[in-house]
Amino acid sequence: MTVSTVATWVVVIGGLLLLCKPVGIYLYRVFTFQPTLLDRPMKPLENGIFRVLHVTRDSNMSAVEYGVAFVLTNLVWGIMAYTLLRIQGILPFNPEHFGNLNAGLSFNTAASFVTNTNWQAYSGENTMSYFSQFAVLQFLQFVTPASGAAAGLAFVRGLSGRQLGNFFVDLTLVLTRVLLPLAVLFGLAFVALGVPDTLAPYLHVHTLAGQSQVIPRGPIAGWEAIEHLGQNGGGFTGANSANPLENPSALTNILQSLAMGLVPVAFFYMFGLFTGKKRLAWTLIAVAGTLFLTMLAMIYFPESAGNPIVNALGLSGHANMVGKELRFGMGGTSIFETSTMAFTTGSVASAQDSFLPISSLAFFLGMFLNMVFGGKGVGLLNMLMFVILTIFLMGLMVGRTPEFLGKKIEAKEVSLTSVAFLLHPLLILVGSALAVATPAGLAGVFNPGPHGLSEILYGFTSGAANNGSAMGGLGASLPFYELAIGIVMIIGRYASVVAMLLVGESLLHKKAVPQTSGTMRTDTPLFWGVLLGSIVILNALTFFPVMALGPLAEHYLLVAHHVFG
């Protein structure tokens, strides 16, 4: 392990830990309507929006009302995006004269960006006009993560004994007090570090070799800021953050990794302030942090050891740098890829298809769990889903009605939480099964053997987890995958969130019970171990069989020096 690797990891991980508390305190103050430094510039704007929407800061909704507002608002954004992409060719800011998108691609892209997935069945620099990039897709990159954060806030309020709040108030405050200010800061930093941001046409240049070349550009720095701050992940270009226009140096690579985790980690600490259980918040951070470090090790060490077949040729000692960027090195690549999977961002600084199958397990792990900090709000919501399931299982073992935050966990809460938990693997496994069982699905598989299955599984996992990254060998632009993954993204985004909002409201209306000697404390190292074990076991029981047919089978065959042509 090199000094640069250690330094990169220390800066990213240490930075997130140091910023977790102050950013979490700021979030708590914003969403409990306490004074902050941004009151003077932002309050007039917010008050104007609230007047138009006929709401006030102290407005409240029921869980059903909050869920309906969440879903219908996203539906309106999705219809708007679909319509504008279908007529892209006649809209302004299109210097390269790109035409309209077809119906399938427009649906898939609209569904992808409105669900905060940002799965891309297209190459941005060859498909999207500047208007589509910044006025349609970048708009969604702001509002859709804000809506997910709002849902997470409502759930936290319910757990803390407060009313759920108002969706439109929360959405507005996430935008004005969190995403917009941070996007300006990071956007300016990226411009200063060499990321272009312009509406000028593409450059047509003559190379030193006498050839002509088109160099795409556009409003990239602003895109990169909200792409990572909002856990969006969709690249301005097809190569995403592996493209030097989007991510030119090791420093921008570090900043993008920090941007991905800044708000999601702080949301965990904010939860502790809302509930008055800061030790519990640190316990949950420790659980997610343990899984984060596990994923980082699963990526870095196998890739650093190199490809077994290459090593057998006497070339041991060479890292598997195929598909990786030399300007980041293995250390910078590993921390970026871990971050993008842990925080469900989906941006990539290397080719996912080039990783060893044993390393790709870390990618699957992050998306299967969907709570290694995860996206802002939604990641915390998924972590608390596992907390409730763990407490229920512990209650079964000791024959006692489980309690969480002074509220009894009973049949209704367990049923809704189980639905939210089981929906995720159902979408992944059913979607993958349909793909391998139909000619339309198999038509998109360009690699034989277990790797082909891994690519299918990765595509549906990415869609269900609202991650958006992809292995490069799947025909994602085929109608089957445009439709199937689009549907998976929509169900995966909304159904579980609405179920957990109902859980939050149910706990809100329960009477608090006093803590006794039989109450299982949730802020101890013991609970850290039990929660971590429950998370691993529940997901292993669900996903191990299909992993054995995909990445694990491919790894064993690779060790045996067997490859598929």
Query: Could you tell me the end-to-end alpha-carbon distance of the chain, in angstroms, rounded to an integer?
Result: 33
pLDDT band at 518 (very low <50, low <70, confident <90, very high): low
Mean pLDDT, range 384-388, rounded to an integer: 92
What are the pLDDT digits (tens) for 429-467? 999 999 999 999 999 888 888 999 999 999 999 999 989
What are the pLDDT digits (tens) for 255-296? 999 999 999 999 999 999 999 999 999 999 999 999 999 999
pLDDT band at 238 (very low <50, low <70, confident <90, very high): confident
Q: Range of 52's domain? A: 36-203+213-275
Mean pLDDT, range 50-54, rounded to an integer: 93
Contact 132, 105 (CB under 8 A): no
Q: Which residue has the higher pLDDT, 399 or 24?
A: 24
Mean pLDDT, range 305-326, rounded to an integer: 84
Q: Which helix (H) or strand (E) holds 484?
A: helix 479-508
Residue 259, domain member (yes or no): yes
Q: How many domains does the chain fold into?
A: 1
Q: Residue 197 — φ and ψ, nearest 5°?
A: -150, 100
Contact 407, 381 (CB under 8 A): no
pLDDT band at 128 (very low <50, low <70, confident <90, very high): very high
pLDDT beyond 90 at 217: no
Q: Which amino acid is at 263?
A: V
pLDDT beyond 90 at 474: no
Please name which of 109, 35, 57 lies closest in space to residue 485, comparing C-alpha atoms: 109
pLDDT band at 35 (very low <50, low <70, confident <90, very high): very high
pLDDT band at 478 (very low <50, low <70, confident <90, very high): confident
Predicted pLDDT at 81: 95
What are the pLDDT digits (tens) for 159-180? 888 999 999 999 999 999 999 9
Predicted pLDDT at 565: 60
Residue 515, domain member (yes or no): no
Residue 221, domain member (yes or no): yes
What are the pLDDT digits (tens) for 69-122? 999 999 999 999 999 999 999 999 999 899 999 999 999 999 999 999 988 888
Q: Which amino acid is at 360?
A: S
pLDDT band at 207 (very low <50, low <70, confident <90, very high): confident
Distance CA 396, CA 394 (A): 5
Half-sphere exposure of 249 (CA within 13 A, CB side): 10
Q: Is 144 helix (H, G, I), strand (E, B) or coil?
A: helix
pLDDT band at 132 (very low <50, low <70, confident <90, very high): very high
Predicted pLDDT at 17: 95
User: Which DSSP string do the residues of 353-387 spell out, in sequence order?
Assistant: GGS-HHHHHHHHHHHHH--SS-STTHHHHHHHHHH
Least confident of 96-105, 373-382, 510-519: 510-519
Distance CA 39, CA 173 (A): 11
pLDDT beyond 90 at 211: no
Distance CA 104, CA 431 (A): 18
Residue 215, number of CB atoms within 10 A of its CB: 11
pLDDT beyond 90 at 399: no
Q: Residue 103 — φ and ψ, nearest 5°?
A: -65, -45
Q: Residue 56 — φ and ψ, nearest 5°?
A: -125, 165
Residue 49, domain member (yes or no): yes
Predicted pLDDT at 485: 92
Distance CA 316, CA 307 (A): 8
Residue 80, domain member (yes or no): yes
Contact 499, 124 (CB under 8 A): no
Q: What pTM was estimated for this model as a whole?
A: 0.93
The DSSP letter of residue 233 is: -
Least confident of 16-20, 121-125, 419-423: 121-125
The rounded percent of the chain whose pLDDT value lies above 90 is: 68
pLDDT beyond 80 at 513: no
Q: Is 315 helix (H, G, I), strand (E, B) or coil?
A: helix
**What does the mean pLDDT of the chain come to?**
91
Is beta strand 212-215 parallel, antiparallel or unpaired with respect to 403-404?
unpaired
Predicted pLDDT at 398: 72
Residue 19, domain member (yes or no): no
Distance CA 459, CA 474 (A): 8
pLDDT beyond 80 at 563: no
Distance CA 418, CA 330 (A): 39
Predicted pLDDT at 25: 96
Half-sphere exposure of 137 (CA within 13 A, CB side): 33
Least confident of 68-77, 326-335, 376-385, 504-513: 504-513
pLDDT beyond 80 at 209: yes
Contact 497, 381 (CB under 8 A): yes
Predicted pLDDT at 517: 65
pLDDT beyond 70 at 219: yes
Residue 319, domain member (yes or no): no
Residue 376, domain member (yes or no): no
